[in-house]
A = this chain, B = another copy of it.
């Protein structure tokens, strides 16, 4: 199956007085999926990227549909599929499900930037190639 997968559990800190995930916490989780992809699959930890290289991958835009609420203790199966790799950007779809039930689908654009100049920069070729392996296979 294409895409990068990640799993986490809905903890107490994610939930609101309604007993469901407070939606801003989902964006922390989405960031965690992206950060883990960069660290484990691209071998490009955010510490190296941000602190040593002074580069970053801020989110330029993100659209999210929340299909059903998630509750304390739910185990979420995340999947990130790269849908487009631009010169200095990346489009991806990130989705979460619990026991096969869809919880959210997000489409986002990341931009690779020089943090000092806040200017976009072309992806290094090896990283671009590594990102391409998370694209959906075309038939």
Is B60 a contact partner of A72 (Cβ separation < 8 A)? Answer: no
Please pick, from B18, B39, B58, the residue contacting A20 in the complex, using a CB distance under 8 A: B58
Please pick, from B15, B24, B25, B66, the residue contacting A58 in the complex, using a CB distance under 8 A: B66
Tell me how far the C-beta of A9 lies from the nearest C-beta in chain B, rounded to whole angstroms. Answer: 8
Which of A43-51, A79-87, A131-139 is found at the contact surface with chain B?
A43-51
Is B12 a contact partner of A58 (Cβ separation < 8 A)? Answer: no
Number of copies: 4
Which of A27-35, A95-103, A122-130 is found at the contact surface with chain B?
A27-35
Is A35 a contact partner of B12 (Cβ separation < 8 A)? Answer: yes
Is B73 a contact partner of A69 (Cβ separation < 8 A)? Answer: no
Tell me how far the C-beta of A58 lies from the nearest C-beta in chain B, rounded to whole angstroms. Answer: 7
Is A24 a contact partner of B16 (Cβ separation < 8 A)? Answer: no
Is B24 a contact partner of A31 (Cβ separation < 8 A)? Answer: yes
Tell me how far the C-beta of A53 lies from the nearest C-beta in chain B, rounded to whole angstroms. Answer: 12
Q: 6 other contacts beyond A18-B115, A24-B28, A61-B64, with CB at 8 A cut-off?
A: A11-B31, A12-B17, A12-B46, A17-B17, A23-B27, A63-B63
A→B interface (CB under 8 Å): 11-13, 15-20, 22-25, 27-28, 31-32, 35, 39, 45-48, 50-51, 56, 58-66, 69, 71-73, 115, 118
